[in-house]
Amino acid sequence: MGTESEHWNGVYRSKVPEDVSWHQSEPAMSLVALDRMGLGADASIVDVGGGASRLPAALLARGFRDITILDIAASALDAARERLGEARDEVDWQVADVTAWNPARTFDIWHDRAVFHFLTEQWQRDAYRKTLLQALKPGGTLIIATFALDGPERCSGLPVRRYDPEMLAAEFGPPFEIAGDWQEDHVTPWGSVQHFCWCAFRRTEAA
């Protein structure tokens, strides 16, 4: 892992989790997505680019017991583990670049909040989709949130690619069928509003 991991490790080493634009006190939309898709605690979930979010704590509180958090930045996962305290050992932590990850197992749910939109090169998105196909079970659910078309053009000093649901559907294509989409006005810790595009896809069959 090269400059991307250096960038993200630097971010999490120099800031507390509450001081990044993507911080949420509660992962509200992720939980809404699980509810809308009828997904309960018996499902296995991988959160790619999970950072130091509060999603693992919220999932454990809901009774999820098969939780994997992957991030390119070891420092992000250090912060996430510290936040979780004693429950840290109930989560599988993976340091990896999602575009180069070889998952050793499969999952019912793939969750991505604000990671795919950093993949501005076609080869990166192709590699992400390849990993997704390896990791997500047929019948599984992809939950993804990116900046919307009227969202910010950059995040954490990096350019992003913005999406609407049709663009995301075109990116993933068959065997992913869109099952729902919605918008979020995310309020950053310093009060600005960022428009997010959320989509849920069902994987209908093996690739």
Give the footprint of ligand SAM on this chain (CB under 6 A).
4, 8, 22, 48-51, 53, 71-73, 76, 97-99, 113-115, 118, 155
Nearest to ligand SAM of 2, 85 (CB atom):
2
Shortest gap between Cβ of 22 and ligand SAM (angstroms)? 4
Q: How far apart are CA 164 and CA 117, in angstroms?
A: 11
Cβ atoms of 43 and 23 within 8 Å: the answer is no
The type of residue at 67 is: I
Nearest to ligand SAM of 186, 202 (CB atom):
186
Nearest to ligand SAM of 124, 176 (CB atom):
124
Q: What is the DSSP letter of 163?
A: B
Left (φ > 0), alpha (ψ -120 to 50) or beta: where does 51 sit? left
Shortest gap between Cβ of 205 and ligand SAM (angstroms)? 26
Cβ atoms of 1 and 72 within 8 Å: the answer is yes
Nearest to ligand SAM of 118, 176 (CB atom):
118
Nearest to ligand SAM of 74, 177 (CB atom):
74
Shortest gap between Cβ of 148 and ligand SAM (angstroms)? 15
Shortest gap between Cβ of 184 and ligand SAM (angstroms)? 11
- The first and second tokens of residue 55, run together, are 């999603």
Shortest gap between Cβ of 204 and ligand SAM (angstroms)? 26
Cβ atoms of 162 and 118 within 8 Å: the answer is no
Q: Is 32 helix (H, G, I), strand (E, B) or coil?
A: helix
